[in-house]
Chain A
Amino acid sequence: MNPNLKVNIGKLNLKNPVLVASGTFGYAEEFKDFIDLKKLGAIVTKTITLNPRKGNPPPRTCETPAGMLNSIGLENPGIEGFLKEKLPFLKKLGVPIIVSIASEGGQEEFITLAKRLDKIKEISAIELNISCPNIKESARLISQDAKTTYKVVKAARSVTRKTLITKLSPNVTDIAEIALAAERAGSDAVSLVNTLAGMSINVKTGKPKIAAIAGGLSGPAIRPVAVRMVWEVYQKIKIPVIGMGGIIDTESALEFLIAGASAVSIGTANFINPRSTAEIISGLRDYIIQNKISDINELVGSLRV
């Protein structure tokens, strides 16, 4: 039996449902010694902004129970730097490339970035990072307000025909409401969850463990929160969900698929075991063969209640 692992996200046809979460995989080159990058379903880049960003002062990360906090602050070479220095390596791989973008200046910058990327044929899709907790130019994240989410997604939608994915924050009262707004505005998929806002203190010094005081929590610690949100969103929208939050092995990837994710992203696990993605891809194949499932899509949202 040759089971089907292919999934569709918008216009993308992925050979398997395993992606990498933005910001945890650099621009893929960092992982070339560890895995065959060609085997990935898709690669999501570290978030790009219009202008280069130096990022936040260190310390930028700390470990927490079964997780970690980060406040990198979207350090990146800017769109032109990305296209010149990072894209040449990525486009040789023959794997769908999803470019994550964020704005330092409202929806105008999303439009500029989406327009620029729309012209580049090697880029398969755009992920709108409207949920990074580490660049708060205003008091709120875009993804913390349904109306603003709708406006930004609509604006990006109007300038690109590429697959558009909207990345959502878990730091909200009702994530399904935000997902619905993204869907109505024309997003082809939603990805969730970004990191949970968190904080950790060194009690010997009385100081925060990361310089930015608060950061984003990721890793297995947040998995149950993320699975619940995927389930919630899956029931309310028709576009595919890309699920993520603390996936470290095949079993945790399966949880997300069963909860309603059409694909999954591996994040923090890449830091711990750079081979995680490859191991999960083969683990999923083994699982569906053993359980006599002919198509992985049958698992999506198959939660028995």
Chain B
Amino acid sequence: MFQVNARLLYNKRIKKNCHEMALSAPQIAKSALPGQFINIKVTDGLEPLLRRPFSIHQIYRQDGIKILYEAIGKGSKALARRKSGESLDVIGPLGNGFKLGRGPGAGGRRHVLVAGGMGTAPLVFLAERLAEAKNQKPKTKTLVLLGARTKDDILCEKEFKELGCEVRIATDDGSRGFKGYVSELLKDELNAIRYPLSAIYACGPTPMLKEISRISQEYDIPAQISLEAHMACGIGACMGCVIKTARNALRATEYEYKRVCKEGPVFEASRVIWD
């Protein structure tokens, strides 16, 4: 973990309320793993008081970090007003990211990435690392399912395609691709697929992740899901951002709290207890 004054390289609106920012933070960029996050003090003053966590979207020119965010709350709106050349107090890389090439499903030949809305952000970084690993194991393929409200809200389609991923789209209003939730699209895909699947990796709104956990159990495919929680510190000190997890995968009644910022934000779906 590093705490650095990161120079803002650019901060631009890419569509609707969605913004993209790049920060120069060599130490963080060099050690970051897909699924990890950074915690940014978005202003110098007391409003907002707490840092804001953002998943790492991409490594930018080796020494930088890109984030993708929606300017909707007090913190993200303040962040959208920051200008290039300014410096931001950033802590990272934080948490445990996606496990690649180890753990359940590592032997399979196909990964499925499921993204809901802004949950697309960390999955681009993941797809990059999977593509790098693919160069060693040429038979591995990555399928990306992108969920968005409408066709105008679809994020990073081009990036995934450039990485050699197969991309399918689901929109809530059916303005493009599959009409309905991306979790429903996942079920359709799983019904159609005839080759061994290694794992599902997902990030998005909580109801979507809950549904994906259910699907992963129904189809007996391991899923890694990246969760969100309100955080005070982001470094494991305050115990604020906990979720309920099963102590033992077989006996879901015995629970323990795990910190989203420290043991997470990526969890094995089978361990998460949904209330």
- A interface residues (Cβ-Cβ under 8 A, vs B): 23-26, 30-31, 33-34, 46, 54-55, 57-63, 65-68, 70, 72, 75, 219-220, 268, 270-275
Contacts and interface: CB of A to CB of B under 8 A. Distances in A.
A272 B45 CA distance: 11
B163 interface: no
Given A272-B41, A273-B41, A65 B47 contact: yes
B45 to A, nearest CB: 9
Contacts of B231: 61
B233 A58 contact: no
Contacts of B230: 59, 61-63
Given A26-B236, A271-B232, A275-B3, A61 B241 contact: yes
Given A55-B242, A75-B257, A273-B89, A63 B50 contact: yes
B232 to A, nearest CB: 5
A61 B49 contact: no
16 contacts: A33-B1, A33-B3, A57-B244, A58-B229, A60-B239, A63-B48, A67-B49, A68-B232, A72-B238, A75-B257, A270-B237, A271-B50, A271-B51, A271-B232, A271-B234, A274-B233
Interface of B: 1-3, 41, 46-51, 89, 91, 229-244, 255-257, 275
A60 B260 CA distance: 12
B50 A68 contact: yes
Contacts of A65: 47
A281 B48 CA distance: 25
B50 to A, nearest CB: 5
Which of B239, B241, B242 has the largest number of chain A CB atoms within 10 A? B239
B235 to A, nearest CB: 5
B257 A54 contact: yes
A72 B49 contact: no
A224 to B, nearest CB: 14
B237 A25 contact: yes
B3 A34 contact: yes
